[in-house]
Structure 1
Amino acid sequence: MKKNILLALLSGLLLWLAWPPMHYTTFFLFFGLVPMLVAIESIIKSHSPRKGALIFRITFLGFFVWNTLCIYWVYNSLKIVGEFVAVPISMIPFSLGPLLMATACWLYYRLRVQVNRALSLALLVCLWMAYEYLHQTWDLKFPWMTLGNGFAVSHQWVQWYEYTGVYGGTLWIWLSNIFIFLVYIGLREAQPAKARLQQISIWVAIIILPLSFSLYRYNTYVENTNPANIVVAQPNVDPYAKISSVPPMDQVNSLIHLSDSVAQPNTEFFIWPETAVYDDNAVNEDKIRRNIYFLQIQHFLAKYKNGNVLTGMETTKLYDSDLTPSASRLPGSNQYYDVFNAAVNIENSAEVQFYHKSKLVPGAESLPFGNALSFLKPVFEHLGGATGSYGSQKEPTVFYSQSGIGVAPVICYESIWGGYVADYVKKGAQFIAIITNDGWWENTSGKDQHLDYAKLRAIETRRWVCRSANTGISAFINQRGDIVKQSGWWVKTAIKQDINLNSDVTLYVHYGDYIPVTASFIALLCILFIVLKHFWRRKVH
């Protein structure tokens, strides 16, 4: 038992050492799960009672270690409410992913006792990807630890994400681990040398072929020349003091000054961070053309003929009835309203474009499962935004400049969803603008991981990423996923870059998350098989 616990812990540590922002250890992903597989196999072969429960417990332990070490920064964003509250609430994101991962391993065990090892291992990969897909679609969504994200530091290795998205990386990792595991088992079970040599040959091909193709693609990829000048501003306003210490007008003036300091006459877009325009009274979208901040921005744009300001803003809309699930009633009125974490595009005309953040942070921006968890509202508010339920929209909106350039306004947390960002591109986005506020996590690896993941969006879509982060790290990322220019952390600055617009569509953009959708369908069949087999046995006995 102790040996199996140590093996599970070893897997957790190896996966942590391989995870961004760690450098030079990404290759640990190719064998980090092997100790876990060995522990599971050891339990299956043992005479222990309740093998399924034992497998669930040790795999949960290993995955809990991995997740907690990688996303410890979640706790930092909760410290303001006190340790007695921060610790238990941190356990939700620390534990939820491992619970789903352990469930996938338990289901693998249930299959393993019904079918042969090779087939059950193949189905384990489907079960795992089904968990990852579930964890990006349900109310408690948190796809931060999707295995394919692990290559974000070594993006040169996964240029083929333009065909598969990050789930191709998940598949690659699992295939490598499974074949190393099979070689190990072959040695333990004294399998013929020919079979072991065949397994080793397959493993070498699994590593070398995708890696060789990726490096070739990386070194031969050439962007089509289609330049546009972009400015990214980083105002460096402490998110915890944003409302109380710096007047909103001063914040907008600071952003204008920063933008103006590096701008060119031909600058097309000035990109400002998430909730850069923030007031105690959210900006009424229907009256924005009379709003003082809007007029201030338009005055700034007067000297930039094709200029656009793409900014984060907290906005509101009023309704005569509760048209949306998130709408609240105005006290003493028959009207309803929604508040949005929005992206707004302002130009040298009366045209204003709005996008309402779709992928809301559970707890901080939306309350999972309706009113069932309403008692958690006060403690969720410091996860990175405002408590309660923001309004949202289901589909992405592409902003178009007067000169016809299409941009994807991606707000913070949304940049983890490859498929959602791909939908922007499918609708005509020629580059990606990520606006975020990573200061909630302080100077931890959370901000670095968030930046690294943006490189994967560039590869999947073959689009430049222009990233504006309130406190850092702001950056420009080219179509190969290289960070061409970046700011420092906690620095007030602005940076500019000529990027290349792209209108070509990758296979991943065209087909989206076809790999996890297929895997999830197979996983559902596996679960149905397990359930039917269980009831059949009960009926027979």
Structure 2
Amino acid sequence: MFKTKNLLLPALTGLLLWLAWPPLPFAPLLFVALVPLLILADQLKHVPKAGGRIFRNSFFAFFIWNTLSLYWIYNAGQELGVAGALAIVSVPLLLGSLLISFAFLLYHKVRRNFGENIALAALVCGWIGYEYLHQEWQLAFPWMTLGNGLAEYHQIVQWYEYTGVFGGSLWILLANVLVYRIYKYSLILKAEKKSLAGLKWLVLRFALHLAIPVAFSLWIYNHFEEAGNPSNVVVVQPNVDPFTEKFNGLPPEQQLERLIHLSDSLGQPNTEFFIWPETAIIPLVREDDLPYDPSVELIKRFLSKYKNGNVLTGAVTVKWYNDKRTSTARYNKESSRYYDVYNAGMLIENSSKVQVYHKSKLVPGVESYPYSNVLGFLGNIVIDLGGTSGGYGKDNANPVLYAQSGIGVAPAICYESIFGSFMADHVLQDAQLMAIITNDGWWKNTSGYKQHFQYAKLRAIETRRSIVRSANTGISAFINQRGDIIKQTKWWEPTAIKADINLNTTLTFYSTRGDIIAVIGSIFAFGFILLSFLWKFMSRGIKLNA
């Protein structure tokens, strides 16, 4: 169990990580936040059952961080009652905290057999491996990837165009290791009266570790020139309350009229895109009858006055089958047919053509059943934040939507925008612009929608694509290719904004190479885990032979 005297240091780590996390403005604390936990691990290394105690204290630290940073998730599950809401919250809070704690357990196991320097390398790789796993598996929740924590200071991470956010995680982890080594050397210096030269060298390394990436980033930032070829874009924020109006209160035709009115208020003859938020179009749109859907027809009439105009809007769509064609298809008894419901995006233009994009990065436990063959019980607590019941389909045949003029737009529906490599893959298919459509009102006026907004700046840097962001309730904005916010809306107001947004076709290193750092870190983490197990069995064999 936890011992009170040991709780101070992990609590300090948890609080420092929270204070460093957006939207709080203390991101530099990330470079020292893990040091108290490393100090505690050093103090406990020789006590009985040290591994278990280090694991439990690590969990305590990360649970504090996750709880204080992600408390807003509770709001999204309110309609399920207290039990349901707590079930939804438990995945990111408990699971995320447990997974990171295994990195510290690995650190302890490796240090016991191979020394502290190798163990610190194992800790860094183990943490990176955890972050990569938590991005790629079906329970993915990369919201708390360390590199995201620097989003408030995007000017100093312009090199994410080479590394993505995992480069930021590596930078932060190595900084903590250096500060911890400075602490350890100071203790040795005091006890053994060693030369100050070693300590000065460590301090210098830490200073250079921070200064060189920052200087390089500021140089990129100040010398970066955006690609030209502007496109006139109008972003609409209708501000329909998802709890009281969106699905039960305000009639769908009135919601559509509000969207059209706000679009018309800023539209001009050369406007190419009107961007509407996630699930802007309700009720369900049948994909086998798109051109004749009443909402689509009304939008086409609106577009008739804009020769090159396109509406990119969120919608909830349905697709019917005669057989169970997909793993997510549901059976309808009345028609004896199967169907999929999608959280979708539609690109509507001045023709009979309507392109559809299906959200494929679904929120675990909210929009999808993770590992449904094993965790089928989740179906009893799944809520749907798009207006249907049950999980969404997720096949995605069209990751990029193309306007009449040939401009490729990479849509990201809400949660998808926090997956860097996922969005970079869209760019590889000739996307010249990114459009984030979301409904952040589920989290109410909390830090959740602010974090989500800040992370969008990192996607712009990684891919050097301008971003247009339409939030039903949240912050709508234009973000340039450096990650600067050109224009943004206020929280909780119906409005529209417009801007000329520069398009880009150049591919960044990150767009073409992806999460190399994460892959390498994961491989080494697996190697350290394997080494620990092999050493354990070898040690047992040696004892038996002796």
Query: Which residue of 2 is the match for residue 4 of structure 1?
Result: 6
The reply on whether 1:254 has 2:258 as its aligned counterpart is yes
Q: Distance in 2 between matches of 1:328 and 1:86?
A: 25
1:363/1:388 contact within 8 Å kept: no
Query: Which residue of 2 is the match for residue 116 of structure 1?
Result: 115
The reply on whether 1:278 has 2:279 as its aligned counterpart is no
Query: Which residue of 2 is the match for residue 506 of structure 1?
Result: 508
Q: Pick closer, same or farther for the CA change 1:431–1:245 going to 2, 3 Å.
A: same
2:382/2:391 contact within 8 Å kept: no
Q: Distance in 2 between matches of 1:473 and 1:181?
A: 39
SS of 1:497's equivalent in the other structure is: strand
Q: Distance in 1 between matches of 2:160 and 2:490?
A: 28
Query: Which residue of 1 is the match for residue 338 of structure 2?
Result: 336
Report the CA distance between 1:334 and its aligned residue.
Answer: 4.0
Q: Distance in 1 between matches of 2:330 and 2:220?
A: 51
Report the CA distance between 1:265 and its aligned residue.
Answer: 0.5
The reply on whether 1:354 has 2:356 as its aligned counterpart is yes
Amino acid at match of 1:314: V
Query: Which residue of 2 is the match for residue 35 of structure 1?
Result: 36
Q: Distance in 2 between matches of 1:383 and 1:193?
A: 59
Query: Which residue of 2 is the match for residue 529 of structure 1?
Result: 531
Q: What per-residue deviation string (whole Å, max 9, x for no partner) do you get for residues 192-239 of structure 1?
A: 422222211111110000001111111221112211000111111111
1:257-268 equivalent positions in 2, closer than 5 A? 257-268=261-272
The reply on whether 1:459 has 2:456 as its aligned counterpart is no
1:384-399 equivalent positions in 2, closer than 5 A? 386-393=388-395, 397-399=399-401
Query: Which residue of 1 is the match for residue 155 of structure 2?
Result: 156
Report the CA distance between 1:397 and its aligned residue.
Answer: 1.1
Report the CA distance between 1:252 and its aligned residue.
Answer: 1.1
TM-score by length of structure 2 reads 0.96
Query: Which residue of 1 is the match for residue 198 of structure 2?
Result: 195
Report the CA distance between 1:286 and its aligned residue.
Answer: 1.2
The reply on whether 1:411 has 2:428 as its aligned counterpart is no
Query: Which residue of 2 is the match for residue 232 of structure 1?
Result: 235
Larger mean CA deviation between 143-152 and 331-340 belongs to 331-340
SS of 1:237's equivalent in the other structure is: coil
Report the CA distance between 1:331 and its aligned residue.
Answer: 1.0
Q: What per-residue deviation string (whole Å, max 9, x for no partner) do you get for residues 313-357 of structure 1?
A: 101111121111001122144421111001110101111111110
Q: Distance in 1 between matches of 2:82 and 2:74?
A: 9
Q: Distance in 2 between matches of 1:199 and 1:152?
A: 28
Amino acid at match of 2:218: L
Q: Distance in 2 between matches of 1:396 and 1:100?
A: 34
Q: Pick closer, same or farther for the CA change 1:342–1:394 going to 2, 3 Å.
A: closer
Amino acid at match of 2:32: F
Amino acid at match of 1:370: S
Q: Distance in 1 between matches of 2:5 and 2:215?
A: 37
SS of 2:314's equivalent in the other structure is: strand
SS of 1:488's equivalent in the other structure is: coil
1:160/1:214 contact within 8 Å kept: yes
Q: Percent identity?
A: 52
Report the CA distance between 1:13 and its aligned residue.
Answer: 0.4
Q: How many residues align?
A: 536
1:280-299 equivalent positions in 2, closer than 5 A? 282-299=284-301
Report the CA distance between 1:374 and its aligned residue.
Answer: 3.5
Amino acid at match of 1:355: Y
The reply on whether 1:144 has 2:143 as its aligned counterpart is yes
- Contiguous gaps of at least 5 residues in structure 1: none
Q: Distance in 1 between matches of 2:531 and 2:89?
A: 36
2:316/2:386 contact within 8 Å kept: no
Q: Distance in 1 between matches of 2:360 and 2:498?
A: 28
Q: Distance in 1 between matches of 2:352 and 2:435?
A: 22
1:301-320 equivalent positions in 2, closer than 5 A? 301-320=303-322
Q: Distance in 1 between matches of 2:274 and 2:87?
A: 41
- Contiguous gaps of at least 5 residues in structure 2: none
Query: Which residue of 2 is the match for residue 59 of structure 1?
Result: 58
Amino acid at match of 1:362: P
Q: Distance in 2 between matches of 1:394 and 1:347?
A: 20
Q: Distance in 2 between matches of 1:112 and 1:385?
A: 51
1:78/1:383 contact within 8 Å kept: no
1:26/1:151 contact within 8 Å kept: yes
Q: Distance in 2 between matches of 1:179 and 1:110?
A: 20
Larger mean CA deviation between 407-416 and 193-202 belongs to 193-202
Q: Distance in 2 between matches of 1:303 and 1:245?
A: 31
Larger mean CA deviation between 109-118 and 256-265 belongs to 109-118
Q: Distance in 1 between matches of 2:38 and 2:384?
A: 38
SS of 2:152's equivalent in the other structure is: coil
Amino acid at match of 2:20: A
Q: Distance in 1 between matches of 2:41 and 2:387?
A: 40
Larger mean CA deviation between 172-181 and 81-90 belongs to 81-90
Q: Distance in 1 between matches of 2:466 and 2:65?
A: 31
Larger mean CA deviation between 374-383 and 524-533 belongs to 374-383
TM-align CA RMSD? 1.5
2:343/2:386 contact within 8 Å kept: no
2:157/2:168 contact within 8 Å kept: yes
1:416-427 equivalent positions in 2, closer than 5 A? 416-427=418-429
Q: Distance in 1 between matches of 2:408 and 2:85?
A: 41
1:78/1:382 contact within 8 Å kept: no
Which of 467, 470, 491 pairs up with 1:468?
Answer: 470
Q: Pick closer, same or farther for the CA change 1:180–1:480 going to 2, 3 Å.
A: same
Q: Pick closer, same or farther for the CA change 1:507–1:411 going to 2, 3 Å.
A: same
The reply on whether 1:102 has 2:74 as its aligned counterpart is no
Larger mean CA deviation between 134-143 and 386-395 belongs to 386-395
Report the CA distance between 1:396 and its aligned residue.
Answer: 6.0
1:158/1:169 contact within 8 Å kept: yes
Amino acid at match of 1:142: F
Q: Distance in 2 between matches of 1:339 and 1:395?
A: 15
Which of 239, 243, 250 pairs up with 2:247?
Answer: 243
2:427/2:463 contact within 8 Å kept: yes
2:379/2:390 contact within 8 Å kept: yes
Q: Distance in 2 between matches of 1:395 and 1:420?
A: 14
Query: Which residue of 1 is the match for residue 124 of structure 2?
Result: 125
Query: Which residue of 1 is the match for residue 27 of structure 2?
Result: 26
2:106/2:122 contact within 8 Å kept: no
Larger mean CA deviation between 97-106 and 334-343 belongs to 334-343
Report the CA distance between 1:377 and its aligned residue.
Answer: 3.2
1:396/1:423 contact within 8 Å kept: no
Q: Distance in 1 between matches of 2:36 and 2:397?
A: 42
Q: Distance in 1 between matches of 2:355 and 2:443?
A: 30
2:357/2:397 contact within 8 Å kept: no
2:401/2:410 contact within 8 Å kept: yes
